[in-house]
Structure 1
Amino acid sequence: MPAEEPAQAGIPASKLWGVADAAAWLRPPADNDHKYTRGVLAARIGSARYPGAAVLGVSAAWRTGIGMVRYVAPLDDAQPELGLPTPAAAVLAARPETVFGDGSCDAWLVGSGTDSGSCSVAETAAIAHLHTGETPIVLDAGALDSALARTEASAPAVLTPHIGEIRRLWAEADLGPLPLLRPQGAGSGTVPLSAVARLATRLSATILLKGSITTVVSPGGRVMSVGPATPWLATAGTGDVLAGILGALVARHAGPVRANPEVLAPLAATAALVHDVAARLASGDDATDPTQCAGTPITALDVACAVPKAISTLSRLAPCTTSPGSTKRS
């Protein structure tokens, strides 16, 4: 869809999320900050089959500038094959500063590197229980289906589906035929804003629809777009990196999110912009020129490693001394 899509069926036009918008949510820590005031993210991600997803998500969260990341291993996960490490062991080897096990947190990141069809009964129940609390949740990959049971009383949540996952959620939500713009195949095409908005309302959650143009729609009607992203992002694992960035931002701003879940929309758009800028920096493109795509191939870990420089770049392009709605955790 274009950067400024016209209003559809009562849906406001999409706001193109820019550098100044994102920089307002990326302030550096103050001299009185500590690891708890900078946000604590609990990451329930990765699996025996995809331990790398846990490493990518946790690494990206740390590189976003969060105060602490807790890693919570999936319950009753299968035993790794092919000599692979468990997700927890992989995370420890890559990010030894990570804290392991349940504990207090400001936000949850759930589902990256998992498949809802292979999650244990205990893990499925644990994820469902998160929706009954007040702690904000970022839902990715195998945890997306847990949103189908949400109500307006559920914890604040943001979903990060791609077009294929949107199609599945739409069908499982029993919303009828999904309208598509320029359909090109079973897993592609563009979903109109009205459909994304309808699904966001049905799930009582903000939706970040990944694509060349990332679209963010909140249940309250906030609509934002980011991109076009560099095509070098179309590679395995970059979605795990995006989820980690978003989880860290939500944890950092958990107070405002709990007070008003609509805050998840600008945080999601900011995460998408940081993700793209990091990819452009990693590939050698000009991060200030979104039309340039002449860089070199990159991997997901390259993107995660470039996140600090991306945040610095965005902050330098649009300096900001305060963070909107920033509050400290007691």
Structure 2
Amino acid sequence: MRTAYSVETVRAAERELMARLPDGALMQRAAAGLAAACADLLRRVSGARVAVLAGSGDNGGDALYAGARLARRGAGVTAVLLAPDRAHPGGLRALLAAGGRAVPAHDDRAEPALARAELVVDGIVGIGGKGGLRTEAERLTRAVRGMVVAVDLPSGVDADTGEVKGAAVRADATITFGTYKPGLLIDPARTYAGALRLIGIGLEPYLPPVPDAEALQHEDVAALLPRPSAESDKYRRGVVGVVAGSARYPGAAVLAVAGALRGGAGAVRYVGPAADTVIARFPETLVHSGPPAKAGRVQAWVVGPGLGDGAAARHSLEDVLRSDVPVLVDADGLRLLPPGDLRKREAPTVLTPHAGEAAALLGVSREEVESGRLAAVRELAGRYGATVLLKGSTTLVAGEGGPVRVNPTGTGWLATAGSGDVLSGLTGSLLAAGLGALDAASVGGYLHGLAARRAAGPHGAPIAAYDVATALAEAWRDVLA
């Protein structure tokens, strides 16, 4: 599992570690890892042209020391100093002693050096930086033509939130030290970071056991997937109820059921007006005309996709929310949610909004949600007393406490009508199979994104929501393998 910690937590851990090390040792560890990563990215180090964009802080010091190491291996290294009188003195001395050169940012040689470089090291600002790049730094980054490697994180992005408030460096690779920072995993900042590489510097013993954010990987998901035992039957494996679809949107019911059938539960019970359409596609589905309370026993409900906004839809949602089993609310169900939080429910509730639905639930603009996804998902979870899966280019899952889960799978091709219906059915099935709300939402998002990648293929191609549903079994097998 990838774990990420806030800037404040990282700074505290660094102070504890530095107190036990010789002066400057921690910076040398970071510089050594950075230089090695840069060397891996260059075809050859000797004779390569490298530029270092160095700010005035320790981030600039890391970059200068790394530049010195590359210069000693034969690279032609030029440091462009944004604040020459405040450049890290030790790093600058090391670079010049190794045969590198340094020029002030306002010097006529600065932009040509950046334009000629095969690799540019972004050491402008570190993890404590706030806001976008200043005017001079932005001007210099526009001169860059080669590969960009960011030191710890791309300058101009927020390490804690993933927000990008102004101009920022777009890196081809980011070399981060000690631990991941939440902003590196969350859009929009994630798209600025490029390929991520973590360099260990001995920070781990000084970090708290509970991170601020975490991202599941294959082995984590494999450990959570429900598996039938020799004694299992369809009811022991769990029954998921799906309340979805309408005369106008029967396809939403089909897609939600398609996801539910591939989520680990033993049976799917459909309740709603699209029963004939569902049975025609999936004859194994149990159907009932409603209301949900009279449909039969289920271990979890999914309610909302394509439900409409009429009185019948509202009554169905209220009926489901009165149940004593986990409930996932999506799409039209989110628009019909009664005011107030959901803490009066004894069983867990999962909400799965996209940015527009999240904005409506919070009473803010869609742009505010999309630019501050981490804050939005935490606010939703706290305000509604629910587990929230915020869909989008970075899908986030949050409960009322603990780390936010960041989903690392997915593809832009997943932005297609009906894909959220498949995700709802899949996640509801995992709830019925016995996973807790946070795990069900996290595993559902992970498998959904992985299935979309499989359906789109290695080079990417348009996919439909049903393609994602049919690829779920392959994604499941891939995780277990």
Partner SS state of residue 97, structure 1: coil
Comparing 298-307 with 11-20, greater Cα deviation is found at: 11-20
Q: Report the counterpart of residue 197 of structure 1 in structure 2.
A: 378
Comparing 104-113 with 60-69, greater Cα deviation is found at: 60-69
Once the two structures are TM-superposed, the CA of residue 14 in structure 1 deviates from its matched residue by: 1.4
Once the two structures are TM-superposed, the CA of residue 166 in structure 1 deviates from its matched residue by: 0.5
Q: Quick one: structure 1 residues 51 and 12, their matched pair in 2 at CA, closer, same or farther if it must change by over 3 Å?
A: same
Verify: 1:264 aligned to 2:454, yes or no.
no
Alignment partners' CA distance in 2, 1:213 and 1:170: 19
Q: Report the counterpart of residue 276 of structure 1 in structure 2.
A: 449
Verify: 1:134 aligned to 2:324, yes or no.
yes
Verify: 1:109 aligned to 2:302, yes or no.
yes
**Which structure: larger Rg?**
2
Note the alpha carbon deviations across 1:47-78, whole angstroms, 9 max, x for none.
Answer: 111101100110111122321100111xxxxx
Alignment partners' CA distance in 2, 1:228 and 1:271: 11
Verify: 1:5 aligned to 2:198, yes or no.
no
Note the alpha carbon deviations across 1:17-44, whole angstroms, 9 max, x for none.
Answer: 2112211121431211110111100100
Partner SS state of residue 69, structure 1: strand
Q: Where does structure 2 lack aligned partners over 5 or more consecutive residues? A: 1-160, 163-179, 185-209, 289-294
Amino acid at match of 1:110: V
Q: Report the counterpart of residue 348 of structure 2 in structure 1.
A: 156
Verify: 1:33 aligned to 2:224, yes or no.
no
Q: Report the counterpart of residue 90 of structure 1 in structure 2.
A: 277
Once the two structures are TM-superposed, the CA of residue 129 in structure 1 deviates from its matched residue by: 3.3
Amino acid at match of 1:55: V
Once the two structures are TM-superposed, the CA of residue 276 in structure 1 deviates from its matched residue by: 0.9
Note the alpha carbon deviations across 1:74-117, whole angstroms, 9 max, x for none.
Answer: xxxxxxxxxxxx511110100001111211000000001133xx
Q: Report the counterpart of residue 80 of structure 1 in structure 2.
A: none
Identity among equivalent positions (%) equals: 39
Once the two structures are TM-superposed, the CA of residue 301 in structure 1 deviates from its matched residue by: 0.6
Q: Matched residue pairs, number?
A: 271
Alignment partners' CA distance in 2, 1:282 and 1:60: 14
Structure-to-structure mapping, 1:42-81, within 5 angstroms: 42-73=241-272
- Aligned CA RMSD, in angstroms, stands at 2.3
Answer 1 or 2: higher relative contact order, Cα 8 Å, separation at least 6: 1
- Is the contact between residue 27 and residue 315 of structure 1 (CA under 8 Å) also seen in structure 2? no
Alignment partners' CA distance in 2, 1:269 and 1:44: 22
Once the two structures are TM-superposed, the CA of residue 267 in structure 1 deviates from its matched residue by: 1.4
Q: Where does structure 1 lack aligned partners over 5 or more consecutive residues? A: 74-85, 172-176, 255-262, 286-293, 317-330
- Is the contact between residue 57 and residue 244 of structure 1 (CA under 8 Å) also seen in structure 2? yes
Once the two structures are TM-superposed, the CA of residue 6 in structure 1 deviates from its matched residue by: 5.7
- Is the contact between residue 39 and residue 68 of structure 1 (CA under 8 Å) also seen in structure 2? yes
Verify: 1:14 aligned to 2:213, yes or no.
yes
Alignment partners' CA distance in 1, 2:342 and 2:454: 40
Note the alpha carbon deviations across 1:173-206, whole angstroms, 9 max, x for none.
Answer: xxxx56x8xx4xx8x7233423321221111101
- Is the contact between residue 163 and residue 210 of structure 1 (CA under 8 Å) also seen in structure 2? yes
Once the two structures are TM-superposed, the CA of residue 229 in structure 1 deviates from its matched residue by: 1.7
Amino acid at match of 2:215: L
Q: Under a length normalisation based on structure 2, what TM-score does the superposition of the two structures give?
A: 0.53
Of 293, 297, 310 in structure 2, the residue corresponding to residue 119 of structure 1 is 310
Alignment partners' CA distance in 1, 2:338 and 2:427: 17
Partner SS state of residue 371, structure 2: coil
- Is the contact between residue 240 and residue 299 of structure 2 (CA under 8 Å) also seen in structure 1? yes
Amino acid at match of 2:397: V
Verify: 1:210 aligned to 2:391, yes or no.
yes
Q: Report the counterpart of residue 471 of structure 2 in structure 1.
A: 306
Of 405, 408, 413 in structure 2, the residue corresponding to residue 232 of structure 1 is 413
Q: Report the counterpart of residue 99 of structure 1 in structure 2.
A: 286
Alignment partners' CA distance in 1, 2:246 and 2:224: 31
Alignment partners' CA distance in 2, 1:70 and 1:192: 34
Once the two structures are TM-superposed, the CA of residue 248 in structure 1 deviates from its matched residue by: 0.6
Q: Report the counterpart of residue 69 of structure 2 in structure 1.
A: none
When you count strand as a share of all residues, which structure comes out higher?
Answer: 2
Q: Under a length normalisation based on structure 1, what TM-score does the superposition of the two structures give?
A: 0.76
Partner SS state of residue 108, structure 1: strand
Partner SS state of residue 161, structure 1: coil
Q: Quick one: structure 1 residues 222 and 125, their matched pair in 2 at CA, closer, same or farther if it must change by over 3 Å?
A: farther
Partner SS state of residue 47, structure 1: coil
